[in-house]
Amino acid sequence: MKKGSYYVTTPIYYPSAKLHIGHTYTTVAADVLARFKRFTGYDVKFLTGTDEHGEKIQKAAETRGMKPKEYVDEIVDGIKDVWKRMDISYDKFIRTTDEDHVKAVQKIFQKLYDQGDIYKSEYEGWYCTPCESFWTASQLKEGNLCPDCNRPAHITKEEAYFFKLSKYQDRLIKYFEENPEICYPESRKNEMLNNFLKPGLEDLCVSRTTFDWGIPVPFDPKHVIYVWFDAVCNYITALGYGTDNLEEYNKFWPANVHIVGKEIVRFHTIIWPAILMALDIPLPKMVYGHGWIMFGDDKMSKSKGNIVYPDPIIQRYGIDALKYFLLREFAFGQDGHYTNRVFISRFNSDLSNDLGNLVSRTVAMVEQYNDGMLPEPGIGGEFDADLKEIVISAADKVEKAIDKLQFHEGLEEIWKVIRRVNKYIDETTPWILAKDENNKDRLNTVLYNLVDSIRVISILIKPFMENTTEKIWEQIGLTNGENTNWESASIFGKIPAGTKVKKGELLFPRLDVEKEIKEFEKINEEYFYTINPPEEPAEPVVEITPKPEITIDEFDKLELRVAEVIKAEKHPKADRLLVLQLKVGTETRQVVSGIAEYYKPEKLVGKTVILVANLKPVKLRGVESQGMILAASNDDKLVLVGLDGKMPTGTLIS
């Protein structure tokens, strides 16, 4: 019998770059929650996907000379592959280019227009393309910087449709006050209330006309629907909302939790709820805004080249180590700093020393002292009651922590058990008991208690580290069944005596910290440059302002001749000027040229240049110039014009 339904979602990712560990953080959290809920008896729907429309994606495709759909198809395949390698257990992957989604969003837009919640007007204001966000001037930082990503926003002016967000302000404030879970953690709820809701909401621009990669407004197709309007609707369209089949929608909506990063909480706790209010359907039960994983001082960002990708970590240390680290090291809800050193230290202390050693020591002792057969427990002893109490009380605490999305607390509860069991080994000293046949009965109890504690631990870690659980089960002779289900983690003594125990490979072989850091840094860097090859700097585009036309006769008046620099020196009075002596056929000409910033005099001697030979001589700062030489120049560069091959000096150019 299922306990009920449970619907958890991740944000849908922009397919504009390869996912780094910051993105995987959101998805790993949702995955653990989904696994935990399935394990504890819920009928779970775990949704993830990709947010494929918008100006940003269109531009990214254009710079690669691709059509947007062709471009996103390729990246979406890559994203699905990452989730596969990370063993992410999603039930549905939605793409906002899916036909059902497109149709449903159009229906939603039409409905809100028909009922007067969407109206036509004109938008003039600030827009941040990387974040696809509209801003008011007062929200910008330092005059024009986007408050979310710190990149410059730009002014845009276009005819647009607006959603009457302001109409929902009072209802939203009331909802926030009566339903604290609409925005967790508390600090973010206060931020939403104080920075956005209470100062007053402005109507939201929900269509764009300056590009076309989006869902067309059904009744005015030169507009495309604003990408955030399109995106948030995925949470219901993925369940069939807007189609004839509402079975899943009826079963899973409202969502139990939308997990999102802190910078997109505003879209999920203000804009999305207001759309739902307008549609007259229930709001999600919880929106959880987690913190950012920072690298150095900043949120990971490609432009700063400080990104860490999941693949090198998975390949070297395994999926479970990455998942464990992400959820144990950082308090969910707060920002945290990633460093390779912290990762490797945690690997050693928690996974290798605490968990890995406990399993390998225990299995080795059962093999050594009882031929690999789990003995029947015998006499109890001083430390047993305390051990059992701690072991069987953990499941409840872990459940409470996970229900509040406090994954780090849940893992800490599990590690308290692991440390307690390790201590039990030190307290009971099985290697001393084994020396005396009279202590066999007590030794049997100790071995049994150890293995059964490991059984409980393997159940507790299962939602977080499924592979490790399976490896432990192989070693202590367990399979999926009634002594490995969640309920059995609260009962001591479920593993049958007589079970065969067999040493396997080390779960997490200990790492040499300094050596490992060096090696891993190298691997990370190589990986970074394979997937982000340095881009050729783009050629600046030159705007041409034409000069008035001339006739061929006018052009013919110019006397252009091949010349060679035979002497070059600095102008005695002007730093910008050089004084050149040019050989032009049988003549020598002196030309003063403003090229000192770009050419050293000694490098010019021997160079072929083009001389305008019939220019009226002038004095430049007291030195006569008999003509000028040709150069191409812009604000920061100057290049002299030469010949494609050798020609005698004095030759006429026409």
Q: Which residues bind ligand MSP (CB under 6 A)?
A: 11-14, 22-23, 25-26, 51, 231-232, 234, 260-261, 263-264, 292-293, 299-300
Decide: 649 and 615 in contact? Cβ < 8 Å: no
Q: Which is nearer to ligand MSP, 237 or 499 (CB)?
A: 237
Write down the least CB distance from residue 274 to ligand MSP, Å: 14
Distance in Å, CB of 461 to ligand MSP, minimum: 23
Query: How many other C-beta atoms are found inside a 10 Å radius of the C-beta of residue 636?
Result: 7
- Look at strands 652-653 and 638-640 and give their pairing: unpaired
Q: Which is nearer to ligand MSP, 11 or 477 (CB)?
A: 11
Cα dist from 336 to 29, 33, 295, 393, whole Å: 15, 20, 9, 30
Comparing CB distances to ligand MSP, the nearer of 232 and 398 is 232
Measure the CA angle with vertex 272, ends 271 and 273; round to 5°.
95
Q: How many whole angstroms separate alpha carbon 342 and alpha carbon 346?
A: 6
Of the pair 300, 565, the CB lying nearest ligand MSP is at 300
Nearest to 71 by CA among 84, 81, 57: 57
| Residue closer to ligand MSP (CB basis): 265 or 417 | 265
Contact call for residues 577 and 568 (beta carbons, < 8 A): no
Q: How many residues does the chain have?
A: 654
CB of 15 to ligand MSP, least distance (A): 8
CB of 654 to ligand MSP, least distance (A): 59
Element (H, E) at 584: strand 578-584
Query: What is the residue whose two structure tokens read 């604290």?
Result: 180
- Kindly tell me which of 264 and 276 has the beta carbon lying closer to ligand MSP: 264
Cβ closest to ligand MSP, residue 90 vs residue 448: 90
Token pair of 502, please?
Answer: 């067999």
Q: Which residue is nearest to ligand MSP (CB)?
A: 261
Q: Which is nearer to ligand MSP, 300 or 411 (by Cβ)?
A: 300
Q: How many CB atoms lie within 10 A of CB 154?
A: 10
* Contact status, residue 450 vs residue 495, Cβ threshold 8 Å: no
Give the residue with the Cβ less far from ligand MSP, 102 or 417.
102
Cis peptide upstream of residue 254 (ω within 30 degrees of 0): yes
| CB of residue 12 to ligand MSP, shortest distance in Å | 5
SS3 readout for 120-132:
EEEEEEEEECCCC
Residues 292/299, Cβ–Cβ less than 8 Å: yes
Please state the closest distance from residue 231 (CB atom) to ligand MSP, in A: 4
Rounded to a whole number of angstroms, the minimum distance from the CB of residue 518 to ligand MSP is: 24
Distance, CA of 80 to CA of 88 (rounded, Å): 9
Between 299 and 589, CB nearer to ligand MSP: 299
Q: Taking the complex as a whole, how short is the minimal distance between the CB of residue 403 and ligand MSP, in angstroms?
A: 21
First to last CA, the chain: 93
In angstroms, give the least distance from the CB of 167 to ligand MSP: 22
> Closest separation between CB of residue 27 and ligand MSP, Å?
8
Least gap, CB of 46 to ligand MSP (angstroms) = 15
Q: Any bridge partners for residue 590, and if so which? A: 581
Residue with tokens 């939403």: 192
Nearest CB to ligand MSP, comparing residues 193 and 260: 260
CB atoms near residue 517 (< 10 Å): 17
Query: In the structure encoding, which two tokens stand for residue 557, read together?
Result: 């008046």
Cα dihedral value 197, 229, 49, 316, nearest 10? -50
